[in-house]
Structure 1
Amino acid sequence: MNQRIIGIDVARALAVIGMIIVNFKMIFGQSGESWIGDFSSIFDGKAAATFVVLAGVGLAFMTNSAVSGNDQDIWKKVRSKILKRAILLFFIGLSYIVIWPADILHFYGIYMLVTLIFIKVRSRYMLWSALAIIFLYPLLMMLIDYDLGWDFTTFEYQGFWSMNGFIRNLFYNGFHPVVPWSAFMLIGLWFGRQDLNDDRFVKKSIVISLTLFLATKLISVLLIQILSEGNEEVAVELSQVLGTSPMPPLPIYMLAGSSIAIAAISTCILISRRFGDNPIIDALMKTGQLALTFYVAHVVIGVGLVEIFGVEELGTYSLNFSFTYALIFSISCIAFAMAWTRYYKIGPLEWAMRKLSA
């Protein structure tokens, strides 16, 4: 059990660092061409997907005993805790959305409420439900204009605080809409229900998920090349539908994101199990335990410092600056986690969340 948790925390740390890289690039700027751009693009849409899948795994760990024991009193307590945490995350995310419109936490809270519906269903139904949500999305796009509300030149969303705009953004065309992103959490719930102490299962998960990821990428590339017939403008348009970009989150992206998330988490479990005493693994494990704290900190502190002391406007910095700052901030988070966990078992926001949802 401990080794399994170590691997999950390591994966959570890597997901948060990946999100810091992606978000800083988006906030500060990405002008200039370099190998850094190619490297940082690896995390686009995948780090956040992994973060949400890990949340599903966490929900599984939190509810496994209550579900298997069929104790109604325990189940009611666990369900109440999940409901309170979902509401808290929703409002934490909204509290700073003016400075960080691409927040995931308020979406995250709704994913938890959706996932709570499926907590007691059989594992295979969780996967089928996730697939249903994934393939529901293209049907919604036939009914509702995806661009409604968006100014994609500035990434501003008109009418966000109106009732229609808010609901549309939350459930359909925001940065991480409930449909279909809640499928990631359902997939994580399914994964967390499995025996992650069984190395054979974890290795099999790596092989199957990587195969699915590569097959999805290959199908995406081939379809775009065949249908565009060498026309670059057509290829760019097709990549929005058949590519693996998270906006809009169509089935090819969702399948690629969920499969690479399972592969990454499984790999972290195996590596952590084998090298649990390694200082790097230990540092990442401690960082993962403070994931919520660092997610909020990278917006409030990371962005805030540049706004106060920066010499350029946000969005105009070079890619080299954005990437370097993301690495420095991530290393600072790791150092803070190592120091903090000498005295406390959980992070400051994690502690507040636990107290408020008790």
Structure 2
Amino acid sequence: MRVEAGEHGERVERPATTTARIVGVDVARALAVLGMFASHVGPDPYDGGVDTLVQGVSGRASALFAFLAGVSLVLMSGRTPLRGRNRHSAAAVTRVLIRAVLLIPLGMWLADLDTGVLVILAFYGLYFLLAWPALWLDTRALVLLAAGWALLGPIASYLLRTSRDTGDIRYAAPGFDDWHGPGDLFETLFLTGSYPAITWLPFVFAGMAVGRLRLTDLRVQRAFVGIGTGLAVLGYGGSWLVVELFTGDRLAREAAPYGVFELIHSRVGSVPVSDPAWLTVAEGHTGTPFEIVGAIGVALGVLGLTLLACRAWIGRIVLDPPICVGAMALTVYTAHLIAIDRWFPLAAGQTWERLLAFVVVTLLLCWAWRHTLRKGPMEAALHVLSALPARWVRGAARPAGPSRPQGGGQEGGQEGGPAATGSMAQGSDR
């Protein structure tokens, strides 16, 4: 911790900052990036055969990004809950809000490219705009908030879409080309779009709760794996049981003449509003309580495994290329969409060869960049644009005594994290 003078001269303790990164978080983010690659340029998972392996990332990679965004949101603000209304808190919120505001137009610009990808960045901007008040909450409150939102958010989405007659919107990622005003933009980002905040905020809140913990503690890392596995079984297994025993016949009738599976995968972001029984499914991108719990479990388990893998020096050496990818996630996401738009149109085919080429080139370029120029260009730009105003807001606070580092210091700011990068989404996942 360090001691600073508050706005009225009082002594205020602040978390000690450091440049050290928790590289296990970067590896988890890299896995989500590669999962996004599989969805965007890999083979169609619905063709059957070995291509079905790609289906495993559908919905899970983008949920992992949102989860990690919550982790980095907390790490960036100092890991401990903000206290009161002072310059330190105002500076932390300033950084978050500026990054959030910048992500929305960036996401809209990328959505206008001819890629066929449902870009998630604009949605992430709204997530951060809505989540910043939770920076004052402790771990227990964040867990309760995530759990309550996971249960009530999908129900509220269903009821709102029913009352507004918007339940049949299947694909929506806003761009400037289809601009219809701020009200329509908010409705798309919050309710009717492909990654609506009303059902995606639980991932952010769950990540924030995890970010409050000591991520370098072995017991915590093992607990992540165990608890994550349990949540995944509860979400996906619970949905399977409920559908098999209670709602399967109703869903089959509602889906006719198509199958339930085909109807679910013809939409991204929400379930039909023809019957509440749709809230019992757990397929990716359905935004149901079962899917949210299961995807949080997968994200937590993946984070636990990557943190464990990076404990030993040999693990950090072997995983250095994906660490570099995860630290440059926004740059990677932006670059891959531009590459698809200009040189690799999806209409030319999605194959294992193209997926392998994207993965290998990305690993090599990010490794070379990080070991020469450090920050990715997009990450550096966001840092400058947000850190300078935050420094000005905090300017009146001056150190009142020597810094005295205490435990957990290495869990300080994660500049390349999802809070800085937004997230690099799943796009169409088709």
Structure 1 counterpart of 2:130, one-letter code: V
Matched, 1:60 2:77: no
Per-residue deviation at 1:229?
A: 6.2
Instruction: Tell me, in whole angstroms, the C-alpha distance in 2 between the residues paired with 1:172 and 1:229.
Output: 26
Per-residue deviation at 1:162?
A: 2.6
Contact 2:118 2:172 in 1 (8 A): no
Matched, 1:220 2:239: yes
Per-residue deviation at 1:70?
A: 6.9
Partner of 1:50: 64
Partner of 1:91: 105
Per the alignment, do residues 344 and 162 of structure 1 end up closer, same or farther by CA in structure 2, a change over 3 Å counting? same
Per-residue deviation at 1:140?
A: 2.8
CA offset digits 1:179-199 (Å, max 9, x no partner): 111221111111000011211
Contact 2:28 2:302 in 1 (8 A): yes
Secondary structure of 1:306 counterpart: coil
Partner of 1:7: 24
Instruction: Tell me, in whole angstroms, the C-alpha distance in 1 between the residues paired with 2:333 and 2:173.
Output: 22
Partner of 1:121: 137
Q: Where does 1:184-195 land on structure 2 (aligned, <5 Å)?
A: 184-195=203-214
Structure with the larger helix share: 1
Partner of 1:281: 319
Per-residue deviation at 1:213?
A: 0.5
Per-residue deviation at 1:131?
A: 2.3
Q: Where does 1:63-142 land on structure 2 (aligned, <5 Å)?
A: 63-64=77-78, 67=81, 72-99=86-113, 102-134=118-150, 135-142=152-159
Q: Where does 1:203-242 land on structure 2 (aligned, <5 Å)?
A: 203-227=222-246, 233-234=252-253, 236-237=259-260, 241=278, 242=280
Per-residue deviation at 1:137?
A: 2.1
Partner of 2:360: 331
Matched, 1:148 2:181: no
Contact 2:27 2:323 in 1 (8 A): yes
Partner of 1:262: 300
Task: Give the TM-score taking structure 1 as reference length.
Answer: 0.86
Matched, 1:306 2:344: yes
CA offset digits 1:24-50 (Å, max 9, x no partner): 35xx856733212x2101100001111
Contact 1:3 1:273 in 2 (8 A): no
Secondary structure of 1:273 counterpart: coil
Partner of 1:310: none
For structure 1, list consecutive stretches of 5 or more residues without a partner in the other structure: 308-313
Instruction: Tell me, in whole angstroms, the C-alpha distance in 2 between the residues paired with 1:289 and 1:92.
Output: 19
Per-residue deviation at 1:340?
A: 0.7
Contact 2:231 2:296 in 1 (8 A): no
Matched, 1:34 2:52: no
Structure 1 counterpart of 2:306, one-letter code: C
Partner of 1:21: 38
Secondary structure of 1:357 counterpart: helix
Per-residue deviation at 1:66?
A: 7.1
CA offset digits 1:167-223 (Å, max 9, x no partner): 322111211111111221111111000011211121012111101202322222222
1:291 to 307, 319, 329: 329
Partner of 2:408: none
Contact 2:100 2:128 in 1 (8 A): yes
Secondary structure of 1:162 counterpart: coil
CA offset digits 1:140-169 (Å, max 9, x no partner): 3123239838564xx468995334543322
Q: Rg: which structure is higher?
A: 2
Structure 1 counterpart of 2:158, one-letter code: M
